[in-house]
Structure formats: structure tokens, C-alpha cells
């Protein structure tokens, strides 16, 4: 089970590909749904228009049939009285003989609902069909009589086809012979129209499905392209990241070795020699005391005490360079003030430090980063710039915090318009980038020479006022 979970766990690159693919799939699905909806709506309008035209053609055909029938018996009906039974029989015979096609015929019902003419379905003749409904419950004969009383009208209902015995939709046109109280009409089956409409709808649905298939194929191809491109890009980026990681690891090792070498040199060249002097002074004092020369022992003893104090001072300096305690106790402003004072005393370069009331609002990582950048910058100024004046300005503002270091030295060497980045500058850049900040380096060579290093941190690295007491209590514990 664990193996299955491990196999199903997505890598970072796969998650990125999935995140990139989901919006594409959602967008294409929405487009496909919209296209399908619009295609169906357009096709449905066209099909309804086609159905309406076909039905109107059938209705025109029915009107012609009824007009021909009325013309055929008009000379009889026009001269007959309401009770002329012979005239009624002659008209009924004429209508019974007027059949057309496989299923076309005329029917006659009196206003009481009795069928008088039905040549293709003779079982209906002379029977009362008042209240007759079709299979769906639609009134048939009652509606014929109602339309006939009104003069004429159309009615749609289900009726059995004489040729097949199966039910189909029929449209009938009925007129009323008011003198005789007859409902005379004929109908036409529209199952062929319905079949044509159904075929049209099926064709539309098939086209929509083909469209979905084509869109799906295009999306699949696009996803494959995105996936392959993402994998190739991921492989390339991973190789670059591995190379950068190796380079960074080597630079970390080099920085560690350089720092160890510096500390070792300071211990050997400074403290070690001072301690050797202290030991020599103490040995000299011991020998003089053994000879009973108390007065002579005082001078080497004082010298040893003096050298021991110097050693303590050197140890404190080295410790402060490695990790200044004032940075944790008092904050970044006092730590930078102490750093500039020591730099001025050690190098003789005029150094100024200014800051606004900062209230120690930066988080710990930001304080360390800005302090190390200032330390690195002062080291570069001492070694390479030849400057006689240095200024450091630290201030917070509504966008975050900014530290500006400026000197009047000879400036940085540039190549093709870009400054050559040494290890120190790269360390500054990487420190500030880890905190989502920016590092700007402005330098010029000539009469108005000098270098300005400006490190800015975003507002997210400033502590809110509610966090300050907590930090202070932690610092005091």
C-alpha cells in the first residue's frame, strides 16, 4: 500500500504541469459547452423553421383538398333544404369517393357526434363518437364539432393509419356545413415530417459529438505538448539548478575555508604571539621570584598583564566580527554604529553613520543580512577602494527598510557595461534575494568617482508593534 501511495505522490514538476493544465482544460470545456449550446440552439431554430414550412405546405395541401371537395358538391348543397335527405346522401357519396394517396380520405360527423362518412375506416360509420380521444387523451370528434360550429379550423391528434394500422400524428382541416350541421374535413399524416425532423436533430447531435471529439483531440494534443514542453523545461531547469547548487555549495565551502583561514591567521598572528609574550613574561617573572628579585619581577609581570589584556581585547574583537552581541541585544542601529566606529578607528577612514528612530522593528534574518552586507561592503572599501570618506544611512519607510552605503573611492571596474561581481558582491546579492529584497550598486570612475550600495527590504520583514514586546521578552530570557 505504501508503494502505491509513493507512486501516486506527485512531484513538484508534475504539480506545476497539473496546475498549468487544469485552467486549459476548464477553459476548453467551457468553450466546447458554449459551442455545443450555440450549435444546438441554432440548429433547433433551423429545424423548427423547417418543420413549420413543411407543416404549412401540408396545410395548404389540405385546404386545396377541402376546396375541391366543396366545389364538387356546392351545386347540390347550395340548392338543398336543411332536411333534404336525398341531397345529403348524394354529398356523402361524393365525399366517400374522394380518397387520395395511401391514407387520404374525407370524413363527416354531424353535430351530435355520429360518423356519416369514413371510406377507409367503415367501422366508424353510423356510430356516435362523441367524447372520443386519442391515445394521449386529446379530444378528437368533440374538437371537430367545435371547429365546425366556428366555421373552420385545424386540429392535430394521434390517429390510426389505414395502410399500416399504426398510430401517427395527423393534422386535420375541418369546415362546417351549418345548414346540415355537418363537420366535414380531411387530414394528412405528418409522420414523414416528424421523421425528417428527427433525422435532422440526430444529424445535429452527431455533428456536435464530432465537434466534441475534435476539440477533445486538440486539447489532448495541447496537453501532450504542454506536458512534454514542461518536462523538457523541467529537465533543463533541474540541470541548471543542479549546476547552480554545486556552484553555490562550492562557494559556501570556499567561504567557510576563507573564514577559517582568516580566524586562524588572526589567532596565529595576533593572539598566539601575544600569549607567547605573556608566557615569556610569566616565565621571566617566575625566575626572578625564585632568585628573590622581587623588584625585578614587577616589570615583566606588568608586561604580561598588559599583553593578557590585549589578548582579551583581540578575542572580543574576533568574537564580535563572527557574531556581534550588540546586534541581538540592542538591534541593528547600535550594531552598525559600533561597526563603523571600529572601522574608523582601525583604518583611519572618516566614517559616518546615520539612522532614523528605527525601534528595532526588523526581524532577525533581516538584521543579520543587513549587518553582513555592511560588514562586507566596509571590507571591500578598506581593501580596494582607496576611499577617504564613507557614509552609512539606515532608515525605515512605508515600503520597508533601506540601508545605503556610499564612499568616495575609485569605484568598481566594469566590463561591457556591467560591474564585475566578486564573491563579496555575490554574497550581498544572495543574502538580499533570500529575503525578497533588492540590491542596487551604482559606481563611477574619474573625478566624481565613488560607489553606492543600496539594500532594500520589503515591508513584510518589519515586525508589527504587537510583536515587539514578545521579541523583547524572548531576548531577555
Nearest alpha-carbon partner for 354 in 295, 402, 305, 290: 402
Task: For residues 325 and 259, give the distance between their C-alpha atoms in angstroms, rounded to a whole number.
Answer: 19
C-alpha cell at 74: 356546392
- pLDDT (0 to 100) of residue 355: 85
Is residue 130 within 8 Å of 113, Cβ to Cβ?
yes
pLDDT tens-digit map of 292-306: 777 777 788 888 788
CA–CA gap between residue 2 and residue 288 (Å, rounded): 79
Report the predicted TM-score, pTM, of the whole model to 2 decimal places.
Answer: 0.44
pLDDT digits (tens, 9 = 90+) for 134-149: 999 999 999 999 999 9
Whether residue 146 contacts residue 174, with contact meaning beta carbons closer than 8 Å, is answered with: no
Q: Locate 455 and state its grid cell.
A: 539594500
Cβ atoms within 10 Å of 5's Cβ, excluding its own: 8
Apex CA 113: angle with CA 109 and CA 119, to 5°? 35
Longest dimension (CA), the chain: 176
Residue 89: name the closest of 129, 117, 120, 118 by CA: 117
Alpha-carbon distances of 348 from 105, 268, 305, 395, rounded to whole Å: 125, 25, 28, 26
> CA distances (Å), 16 to each of 22, 25, 234, in order?
10, 14, 10
Residue 170 φ then ψ, to 5°: -125, 145
Residues in the chain: 477
Residue 309, all three cell numbers? 589584556
pLDDT means per 10 residues in the chain (477 residues)? 56 65 78 81 83 86 88 88 91 90 91 93 92 93 94 92 88 93 91 82 84 82 77 80 80 71 70 79 82 79 81 73 68 84 88 76 82 87 86 85 88 54 73 87 73 87 58 42
Confidence at residue 471, expressed as pLDDT on a 0 to 100 scale: 46
Task: Map grid coordinates 621571566 to a residue.
Answer: 284
SS (H, E, C) the chain: CHHHHHHHCCCHHHHHHHHHHHHHHHHHHHHHHHHHHHHHHHHHHHHHHHHHHHHHHHHHHHHHHHHHHHHHHHHHHCCCCCCCHHHHHHHHHHHHHCCECCCECEEEEECCCEEEECCCCHHHCCCECCCCECCCCCECHHHHHHHHHHCEEEEEEEEECCCCCCEEEEEEEEEEECCCCEEEEEEEECHHHHHHHHHHHHHHHHHHHHHHHHHHHHHHHHHHHHHHHHHHHHHHHHHHHHHHHHHHHHHHHHHHHHHHHHHHHHHHHHHHHHHHHHHHHHHHHHHHHHCCCHHHHHHHHHHHHHHHHHHHHHHHHHHHHHCCHHHHHCCHHHHHHHHHHHHHHHHCCEEEEEECCCCCCECHHHHHHHHHHHHHHHHHHHHHHCCCEEEEEEEEECCEEEEEEEECCCCCCEECCEECCCHHHHHHHHHHHHCCCEEEEEEECCCCCEEEEEEEEEHHHECCCCCHHHHHHHHHC
Amino acid at each position: 500500500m505504501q508503494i502505491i501511495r509513493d507512486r501516486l505522490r506527485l512531484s513538484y514538476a508534475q504539480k506545476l504541469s497539473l496546475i498549468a493544465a487544469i485552467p486549459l482544460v476548464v477553459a476548453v470545456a467551457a468553450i466546447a459547452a458554449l459551442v455545443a449550446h450555440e450549435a444546438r440552439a441554432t440548429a433547433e431554430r433551423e429545424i423548427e423553421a423547417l418543420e413549420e414550412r413543411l407543416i404549412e405546405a401540408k396545410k395548404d395541401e389540405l385546404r386545396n383538398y377541402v376546396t375541391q371537395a366543396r366545389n364538387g358538391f356546392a351545386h347540390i348543397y347550395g340548392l338543398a333544404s336543411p332536411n333534404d335527405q336525398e341531397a345529403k346522401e348524394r354529398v356523402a357519396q361524393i365525399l366517400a369517393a374522394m380518397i387520395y394517396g395511401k391514407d387520404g380520405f374525407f370524413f363527416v360527423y354531424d353535430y351530435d357526434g355520429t360518423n356519416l362518412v369514413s371510406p377507409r375506416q367503415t367501422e366508424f360509420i353510423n356510430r356516435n363518437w362523441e367524447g372520443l380521444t386519442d391515445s394521449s387523451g386529446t379530444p378528437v370528434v368533440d374538437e371537430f364539432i367545435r371547429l365546425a360550429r366556428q366555421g373552420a379550423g385545424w386540429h392535430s391528434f394521434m390517429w390510426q393509419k389505414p395502410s399500416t394500422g399504426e398510430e401517427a400524428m395527423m393534422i386535420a382541416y375541418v369546415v362546417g356545413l351549418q345548414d346540415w350541421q355537418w363537420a366535414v374535413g380531411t387530414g394528412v399524416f405528418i409522420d414523414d415530417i416528424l421523421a425528417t425532423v428527427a433525422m435532422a436533430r440526430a444529424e445535429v447531435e452527431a455533428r456536435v459529438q464530432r465537434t466534441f471529439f475534435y476539440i477533445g483531440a486538440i486539447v489532448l494534443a495541447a496537453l501532450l505538448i504542454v506536458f512534454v514542453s514542461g518536462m523538457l523545461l523541467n529537465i533543463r531547469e533541474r540541470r541548471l539548478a543542479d549546476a547552480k547548487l554545486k556552484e553555490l555549495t562550492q562557494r559556501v565551502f570556499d567561504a567557510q575555508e576563507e573564514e577559517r583561514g582568516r580566524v586562524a591567521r588572526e589567532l596565529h598572528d595576533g593572539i598566539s604571539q601575544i600569549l607567547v609574550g605573556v608566557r615569556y613574561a610569566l616565565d621571566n617573572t617566575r625566575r626572578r621570584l625564585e632568585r628573590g628579585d622581587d623588584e625585578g619581577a614587577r616589570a615583566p609581570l606588568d608586561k604580561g598583564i598588559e599583553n593578557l589584556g590585549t589578548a582579551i581585547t583581540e578575542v572580543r574583537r574576533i568574537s564580535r566580527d563572527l557574531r556581534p552581541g550588540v546586534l541581538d541585544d540592542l538591534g541593528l542601529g547600535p550594531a552598525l554604529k559600533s561597526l563603523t566606529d571600529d572601522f574608523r578607528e582601525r583604518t583611519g577612514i572618516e566614517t559616518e553613520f546615520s539612522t532614523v528612530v528605527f525601534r528595532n522593528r526588523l526581524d532577525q534574518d533581516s538584521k543579520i543580512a543587513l549587518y553582513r552586507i555592511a560588514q562586507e561592503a566596509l571590507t571591500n572599501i578598506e581593501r580596494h577602494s582607496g576611499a577617504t570618506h564613507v557614509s552609512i544611512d539606515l532608515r525605515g519607510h512605508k515600503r520597508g527598510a533601506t540601508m545605503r552605503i556610499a564612499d568616495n573611492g575609485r569605484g568598481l571596474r566594469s566590463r561591457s557595461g556591467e560591474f564585475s561581481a566578486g564573491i563579496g558582491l555575490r554574497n550581498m546579492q544572495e543574502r538580499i534575494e533570500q529575503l525578497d529584497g533588492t540590491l542596487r550598486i551604482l559606481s563611477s570612475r574619474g573625478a566624481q568617482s565613488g560607489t553606492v550600495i543600496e539594500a532594500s527590504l520589503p515591508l513584510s520583514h518589519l515586525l508589527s508593534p504587537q510583536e515587539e514586546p514578545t521579541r523583547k521578552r524572548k531576548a531577555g530570557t
